[in-house]
Amino acid sequence: MSMRNAFNPYLLALDCPACGGTCDLSQPRNVCPTCGKPLVARYDLVRIKAEVPRDSLGRFGTDLWRYRAVLPFAADFPAVRLGEGGTPLLPLARLGDSAGVAELWMKAEAGNPTASFKARGLVMAVNGALAFGARGIALPSAGNAGSAAAAYAAAAGLPCRVAVPEDTPEAFILEQQAFGAEVRLVKGTIADAGKLIAEWCKAPDWWNVATFKEPFRLEGKKTLGYEIAEQLGWTLPDVILYPTGGGTGLVGMWRAFLEMQELGWLPKAIPLPRLVSVQVAGCAPIVRAFDAGESSAQPWVDAHTVASGLRVPSPFADALILRAVRETHGTAVAVSEADMLDAMREIAQLEGTFVCPEGGATLAALKQLRASGEVRANERVVIYDTGSGLKYLDAWRQALARRVPQDASA
C-alpha cells in the first residue's frame, strides 16, 4: 500500500494553526516545516456529512475506530489495534451530591490498553509511523505515554525508545521494558527527557511520537469528545474538567465538538462545553498563562507533583491549549497536592473507582469552582480519570496516610 493510499480519502491536508501553513501527505510530516509548531488534520467534512450518516457508526465496532470517517487512515489500511477506546462514562450520583452538582459523570479511561487514555493517541501515532514508513519510534514520557507507545510498537513490529524521568514509578518502567522498549532514565522532568530523545533518536531512523510532535496523536485523543457526545445521547455537558499535562485530549475534544457541529451530528446552536484545564500547584504553566492573559506559557521552574502526567513544565501546544480554554469560555485551575490526594480517596470510597492522581485533581478542581460559583449547582459536569491508580502506589500510600485515624476506644 502506498503512503497516499494509507490515508483516509476524506483527509485533505495537515494545517498549522500558528502560521496558517498547509502540508500534504506526500511525505512524512511531524511539525510545521515553516514555524515548527503542531500540525492538525483537516477533513472534508462536507463530503463526510453527505456520505456518512451518524447512525452508521456501528459498522466499525464499539471502540474508537467507530469514528473512522474522521480518523487519519483508510478503511483498508491494516491498522494495529489493541481494543482502544469505547470506555464508560460513569454516573457519579453520590460524588455529585458531595460536590454539589446536579449531574456528575466521570470518563473512566483505565480500561484502555496499558490502562490509560494514552492508548487513544499512541495507536494513531504508531499507525502513522507505519503509514509514513518509519523504522522505529521514540518519545519522552512521564509514564503512561511510554507504556502505550511501547505496546503499540511491539504489536507493529517496530523498535521503540523511551526516555523517562528517573523518579517515574517503577510500574511504568517495567511495563515499557516488558514490551521490548529500550528505556533510559533521566534526571529532571519530561522536558529533560525530551532533550535526551533529540540527541539519542535522530530522524530519519527514529520517528518522534511525543505530544504534538507528530499530527496523529491528537486525532486519537479527539475521540474522547465523540464518545462523550454519543454516550450522552448526542448532547453535551456544560463543563468538562481535564487534567492537563501536554493537553492533547483537551485540544482534541475542542476540535471534536467543532467537527461534530459541522457534520450535523450536533446542533450548531448548542454551546460547547466550557473546557477547564486542571493542573497542580507544583506545575501550573497553563494556569499561570491563563490568569495573566497570555497566549503562550513560560516554562515552569522546579516542577513537582506525584501526578507524573501533570509534571509537564513546558507543554509544546501551550497556545492551542489556551485557545481551546478561552474559545469555549472555560478556565484554568491549579489544585494543591493535598486536595488532589484527598479527592483520590473520596472518589474511591464514594464511587468504587481506584483512580490515578490526575483523576483526583479533576474532582479537587470541581470543588474549587463550585466554591467560587464558576460551576453552578444545576450544571452537567464531566470529570476524568485518565488511568489506573494501580500504577501510582506511592501516591496512594500518601493519600491513605492522610486519613483521620479511627478512635481506638470507639
Q: Which of 358, 403, 367, 345 is nearest to 385 (CA)?
A: 358
DSSP sequence for 152-213: HHHHHT--EEEEEETTS-HHHHHHHHHTT-EEEEESS-HHHHHHHHHHHS-TTTSEE-STTS
| pLDDT tens by residue, 35-75 | 999 999 999 999 999 999 999 999 989 999 999 999 999 99
Whole-number Cα distances in Å, 371 to 99, 292, 367 = 10, 22, 6
CB 384 within 8 A of CB 242: yes
Q: Which residues pair with 208 in a beta bridge?
A: 138
| Residues in Cβ contact with 347 at an 8 Å cutoff, skipping those fewer than 6 apart | 95, 106, 353, 355, 359, 360, 363, 385
For residue 32, the tally of other CB atoms under 10 A from its CB is: 22
Q: Are 353 and 92 in contact (CB under 8 A)?
A: no
pLDDT attached to residue 1: 60
The confidence score (pLDDT) of residue 216 equals 98
Contact 32, 64 (CB under 8 A): no
pLDDT of residue 158: 98
Residue 407: what pLDDT?
40
In eight-state DSSP terms, residue 309 is: G
CA proximity to 371, closest of 142, 181, 99, 108:
99
The pTM for the full model equals 0.95
Q: Which residues of the chain have pLDDT under 70?
A: 1-2, 4, 404-410
Fold of 89-114+217-401: Rossmann fold (3.40.50)
Q: Which three cell numbers stand for residue 333?
A: 485551575
First vs last C-alpha separation in the chain: 71
- φ, ψ dihedrals at 304, nearest 5°: -155, 135
Name, in order, each residue with C-beta under 8 angstroms of 377's C-beta and a sequence gap of 6 or more.
100, 101, 102, 370
C-alpha 331, offset from chain centre: 17
Query: What is the side-by-side order of every strand in the sheet holding 207-208?
Result: 182-186, 160-165, 137-140, 207-208
